[in-house]
Every structure is written in C-alpha cells, then in structure tokens.
Structure 1
Amino acid sequence: MEKAPAKRSSRRRPAGTLETKEVSVTKATYHDMLISRVLPSIEARWPNTSGAVVIQQDNAPARIKPDDPQFTEAAACCGRHVELRFQPANSPDLNALDLGLFCAIQARQRKTIARTLDELIEAITESYWELPARTINAAFISLQDSMDQCIKQRGDNAYKPRHMKKAKLEREGRLPLSIRCSDEAAVYLAEPAIL
C-alpha cells in the first residue's frame, strides 16, 4: 500500500487528496518491505535480545533468496542473527492465521461497510484487535494439534485436521490453553536423527 494524491475529483473527495493505493508485490517491493519495515519492527519489538530470528517466506516468485546480499547486510545491522528461509514444498498447514484467525477477522470485518481502501484497512485492524481471547486460543490449539499430527506422520501432511469440539469444551470451561504432545509423537521425536 502507498499513499498518493488523487488525480481526479470524485463526489467523496477533491483532486489532490491523499488516498491509499494498492501496490503490486514484486521482488523489489517485497525486498524493500523486508528491509525497511520487517527488520526495524523486529528490532523495535525485541530491542535487547540477542536470540536468532527466522523469517519463513512462501515460495512465491516475488520472494528473495535467503542469501540475498542486501538483506543479509541489513539484517546484520540489527545486531542479531536474522535468517530468511523458504517454506518447504507441500508443507503441512502449520500457520495459525490459516487455522481460524483469518476467518474470524474476516467475519467481524464484513459486519462493517467499507467504501474506500482506507476504511477497509481500518475495519480489518479493528476486527483484529476485537478478537476474543478464546478465538485466538482455539486457533493455537488447532495449530498444536496440527503439529502433533504432522510429527506423527513424520513431517507429511497426509492427515485430516481433527475436530476437537473446542466450542463445546469452551462452554463447559474445559478448553485448555495448550495440549500435550501425543505419546506417539514424543516417541518419534526421541528417536536419534538420521542425517
């Protein structure tokens, strides 16, 4: 997104009014976003920590290589190790956003009418901050269960997401904040790694 002055007048605004415009995500815009927005955000949110940070990106053509020299140089200026990785091909769905948060945000956002891109962005932001903690907890429980299933399948995604009846458990006050790793997954994780 970028702000640009409107070229023509409309019934809602005069010419010259700053309005939000969509920007195509190209390799150059993605590269700029990582360096000018993501890295400074990491530094702002974790200013005094020295741990490594891994940024996992999907395999879209607009993504940059993990060893991109400009990104590597900018990441080194953060004072910590920042590693850029590609998501493995055919990786299982281990994204908490896809496991319920996007749908919950969208359902709330659709209750408001947005006539401009700025109004849509504002509605989505408000919907995000209004999400109940139980919705976020349910998404992370789904994520933990998906991780467990993935480990039991030895990293494969040949499993069906399990319906855990989270709404019923929540109504009964029995919805946990986290779930335990299954015995089968624990046994697999305890096996020595073969390199």
Structure 2
Amino acid sequence: MFMSDVGRPRFKKDGNCIFDGKIGIFPFTKEEASVYLSKNRAKGVMELKSIENINKVVVKQCIIEKILPAIKDKWSQENNKHIIIQQDNVRPHINDDDIEFMDAAKSDGFNIILTNQPANSPDLNINDIGFFRIIQGLQHEKALKTVGELVDAVNEAYKEVEPSTLNYVWLSLQNCMTDILKNDGNNNYKLPHIGKKRLERLGQLPSQMIAPLDIVEKALNGTT
C-alpha cells in the first residue's frame, strides 16, 4: 500500500511547467531480518516487507514525517501557505483536529489543514479517479518478484507521469463536480470525456472547466 500526495500542476503562459504537481508517493514498508535461509537470501539478511496493519498511528507518522515535509519542500515561497489536504474516509486516516498533526502543519509559517472528501463520492478523489490507474499501467509493464522491486517500480512510474497527464486528471475532476451538480448530488453518471489530448493539440484545452451558472444556482437553491 502507498500514500500518494499530488497537487495541480502549474504552467507558464508559454506552456513550460513550473510545478509538476507531484509531492511524493510513500510506501508503507518496513525492514526486517529474514528468518529462514533460502536460495534468494541468507538468514538474517535485512529485507523490505509491507506493513500489514495500516492503522492511525502508521498513517499519522507518514503524514507528519513524510508528506508535510515534502509539501513544505516543494511549495514555492511566493505562494500562499494556506493549504488544504483532502483525504478519503477510510478508518485509519486521522482526524482534522489531531494535535500532533496541527502542531506540525502550522509550523514554518504554513497553515495546512485536513478535510475529507464527500462520502460515497469516489470520483472526487484525484488519485482514485485516474492518477493511480496511470501509475498502475506503467508499473504493470515490469516483472516484479519482491516488495523492494515493487516499490522501485511504483516510484519510477510515479516519476514517469507527465505533468500534462496529471493536469488532464484534474480537469476530469472538475467535470465530475459539474456532473454531480447536474444529478442533484448523485453519482449515477458516466465519467465525462472531452478529448483533452486533442484539445491540447489544437491549443483549445481550457485551464479550468466552468460549471454552467444555471446548474450552480440550481444546486445552491436546492431546486430540482
């Protein structure tokens, strides 16, 4: 299992990428000495193993010791340091008022807060809607035998994802938000496709997807 943290890529007007959106991807692994002798390793050799019990302690350690430092390291000093981390609703995730998290998140001039994605809304998670699928497709091209090889392959696939590809996923997320509004908050819709690669080739890819005003007003007024 991995914890991935991504933001939206940033580009200059000339198309040059100034932020690739990739904060980091962190495996839940540990090193242990091998118990038995085998043809692949001697007894007592340290080997990488997956952490089977992913609980709140493990998740909090990853967020505080890995994700927050990675965000601060990659964040431009010119940008607003008020940052929102959206997480899904799985049980091991920590609460937004966790004291240790809040202390770490408000250090170094940052104001980083946690929020949960809406319940029963899988398409509102940037990783699940497409980013993990892209990484998985790249990683599956390689033959893997050990946890260490898997971690290396996932890290390499993470690096290989182009900023433009990640940007497509963010645009898809915005389209999903509009479709949810159109369907009165329901998720019984098909994932929208607008041919983003073609639009980009034509120089017509929008920087953001705009929800129609009547759809927004309808949602705000609670009318059907």
TM score, norm. by length of structure 1: 0.79
1:173 deviates by 4.2
Alpha-carbon contact 1:50-1:79 (below 8 Å) kept: no
The question of 1:32 aligning with 2:65 is answered no
Within-5 A mapping of 1:111-190:
111-132=141-162, 135-153=165-183, 155-166=185-196, 169=198, 173=202, 176=205, 178-184=207-213, 188=217
| Counterpart code for 2:102 | T
Specify whether residues 46 and 17 from structure 1 end up closer, same or farther in structure 2 by C-alpha distance, changes over 3 A only. Answer: same
1:165 deviates by 4.0
For the residue of structure 1 that corresponds to 2:86, the secondary structure is: strand
1:133 deviates by 5.1
1:93 deviates by 1.0
1:187 deviates by 5.1
Provide the residue aligned with 1:18 in structure 2.
46
Structure 2 portions without partners, runs of 5+: 1-28
For the residue of structure 2 that corresponds to 1:90, the secondary structure is: coil
1:91 deviates by 2.9
Structure 1 portions without partners, runs of 5+: none
Give the root-mean-square deviation of aligned CA atoms: 3.1
1:7 deviates by 2.3
Distance 2:200 2:86 in 1: 35
Provide the residue aligned with 1:7 in structure 2.
35
For the residue of structure 2 that corresponds to 1:112, the secondary structure is: coil
Provide the residue aligned with 2:115 in structure 1.
85
- Pick from 44, 59, 69 the counterpart of residue 99 of structure 2: 69
Larger Rg, first or second structure (1 or 2): 1
Q: Percent identity?
A: 32
Question: Aligned pair count?
Answer: 192
The question of 1:95 aligning with 2:125 is answered yes
> Which structure has the highest strand share of the two?
2
Provide the residue aligned with 2:136 in structure 1.
106
Deviation by residue 1:5-56 (Cα, 9 ceiling, x = unmatched): 2222221122232211111211111122222222222222227355212122
For the residue of structure 2 that corresponds to 1:147, the secondary structure is: helix
Deviation by residue 1:135-190 (Cα, 9 ceiling, x = unmatched): 434323322321222344454434322233446x3697466253541434675399
Alpha-carbon contact 2:85-2:112 (below 8 Å) kept: yes
Provide the residue aligned with 1:57 in structure 2.
87
Distance 1:104 1:153 in 2: 27
Distance 1:171 1:78 in 2: 38
Distance 1:143 1:81 in 2: 25
| Counterpart code for 2:41 | R
For the residue of structure 2 that corresponds to 1:53, the secondary structure is: strand
Distance 2:177 2:132 in 1: 19
Deviates more, 1:114-123 or 1:5-14: 5-14
TM score, norm. by length of structure 2: 0.70
